[in-house]
Structure 1
Amino acid sequence: MQSMRLYGISAAIAALLAAPAAFAQDGDTASGKRFSVVGSATILEPDSDPLGAEVRGDVAPTLSATWHANDNIGIELWGAADKFNHRVRNQAGNLGTVDAQPIALSGQYHFGAADNTFRPFLGLGYHQTNISDESIGTGEHVSMTTPKGAIGTVGLDININPTWFARVDARYLDGDADLKVAGETVERDVGFDPWTLGFGIGARF
């Protein structure tokens, strides 16, 4: 299973690296826009409980910058501008908090013409999520290694004018990490598979 996941991630990265050359032959974009940036308020909700307890979601600002090979193909760098702070609970109550800060590189396909009012898009890429400031009241320091893996994106841009647009997007981050207690690994390949929901405003230039 792990080898299949690594193969899939490697294939996605190869596709991202090949995209600029493959689509350069299409020439200039019809819209004349090569770059876009988006600022969003994003909810990140863990899909699993990597610490063996309930890990609650949080809201943080995220930013993305996309280079457009043409009006339909783009390569996006996306990440959290601040840390998501997650409270950790079990049946006994609050255990503490842990911070997460993801960053990802994805290839995207935007459907329809650049001047369409509604433009859905899909993305696939690779992410890593920095885990920090673990403050779990177990008596010994609890930590996690950096989860890494594939990220999938679905979204919708709503054009306001040729420059400005609104965006809603959802992302799923697949990745595993090792769980450590007092510096010793106690469990390997713990699932850390959060999803996000973002609402933002973007500009093309």
Structure 2
Amino acid sequence: MRSIRTLSLALLPALALAAPAFAQEAGDSAAGKRFSVVGSLSHLHPSDPGNGLRVDGDPAPTISATWHATDNFGVELWGAADKFNHRVRADGAGKVGTVDQQPVALSAQWHFGQPDNVFRPFVGLGYYQSNFSHETIGGDGAHVGLDTAKGAIGTVGLDYNINSTWFARTDLRYMRSRPDVRVAGQGTGQELELDPWVVGVGVGARF
């Protein structure tokens, strides 16, 4: 999580310098713009699944596109532009493997306040799927794999309006992730409780 905190602190002075450069023109407004895109750097950190296992977090670029049905309500498609790579460690044994995942989600969002407010918080709730690949868990024994995780995703975030087009964003997402565990291609009936948090910092534009 240190990389996200560092990036957030580095972004603040950049925004302070950018605001005068993107000063809002008279009569220009964010109201009525119905589409926005955001590119972010996000850090996905699963919770410890138990059974003596620990799964490390990893950063990756993410992108979202939102259709704003009104100035307050929108539908967002969000996903990872690259895979998150996680190192899996076992207590007393160190690293026991790695696994990649690439989530995608569709959420309804509510943006509070007026479109031209400098700060606009928002919340979202939706459905996601996250595909796991390149599992190397288990060393030289039987291959351990994970089924696709799917379920609810919740989002809270804050937009900082630079002008009527450009804005900076920070957001926090939670996914209920309980993929089934497979050994040598066969189901085990066991779920891995990952339930990751995703912290993102990015820049967006609305049209």
Range into which the TM-score falls when normalised by the shorter chain: 0.7 to 0.9
* 2: CA distance, partners of 1:116 / 1:55: 39
Assess, with a 3 A threshold, how the Cα gap between structure 1 residues 81 and 30 changes in structure 2: closer, same or farther.
Answer: closer
- Give the equivalent residue in structure 2 for 1:81: 81
TM-score by length of 1: 0.82
Assess, with a 3 A threshold, how the Cα gap between structure 1 residues 161 and 51 changes in structure 2: closer, same or farther.
Answer: farther
- Give the equivalent residue in structure 2 for 1:148: 150
Q: Percent same amino acid at aligned positions?
A: 63
Instruction: Please tell me the root mean square deviation across aligned C-alpha atoms, in Å.
Output: 1.6
Assess, with a 3 A threshold, how the Cα gap between structure 1 residues 81 and 50 changes in structure 2: closer, same or farther.
Answer: farther
Q: What are the residue-to-residue correspondences of 1:1-205 with 2, within 5 Å?
A: 31-49=31-49, 53-90=53-90, 91-136=92-137, 137=139, 139-205=141-207
* 1: CA distance, partners of 2:168 / 2:50: 33
State the shift of 1:57 in Å. 0.3
> Could you tell me which amino acid in structure 2 is paired with residue 143 of structure 1?
G
State the shift of 1:70 in Å. 0.8
- Give the equivalent residue in structure 2 for 1:18: none
State the shift of 1:188 in Å. 3.1
**Does the 8 Å contact 2:42/2:60 carry over to 1?**
yes
**Does the 8 Å contact 2:130/2:148 carry over to 1?**
yes
Offset from partner CA, 1:143-188 (integer Å, 9 cap, x none): 0100100000000000001100000000000132110111122233
> Could you tell me which amino acid in structure 1 is paired with residue 170 of structure 2?
V
Offset from partner CA, 1:85-112 (integer Å, 9 cap, x none): 0001112111111001000000000000
- Give the equivalent residue in structure 2 for 1:15: none
* 2: CA distance, partners of 1:47 / 1:118: 31
Assess, with a 3 A threshold, how the Cα gap between structure 1 residues 110 and 165 changes in structure 2: closer, same or farther.
Answer: same
Structure 2 portions without partners, runs of 5+:
1-28
**Does the 8 Å contact 2:30/2:165 carry over to 1?**
no
* 2: CA distance, partners of 1:50 / 1:155: 29
Assess, with a 3 A threshold, how the Cα gap between structure 1 residues 99 and 204 changes in structure 2: closer, same or farther.
Answer: same
> Could you tell me which amino acid in structure 2 is paired with residue 94 of structure 1?
K
How many matched pairs?
A: 177
* 1: CA distance, partners of 2:117 / 2:140: 54
TM-score by length of 2: 0.82
State the shift of 1:37 in Å. 0.2
State the shift of 1:30 in Å. 7.2
**Does the 8 Å contact 1:38/1:63 carry over to 2?**
yes
* 2: CA distance, partners of 1:147 / 1:85: 15
Structure 1 portions without partners, runs of 5+:
1-28
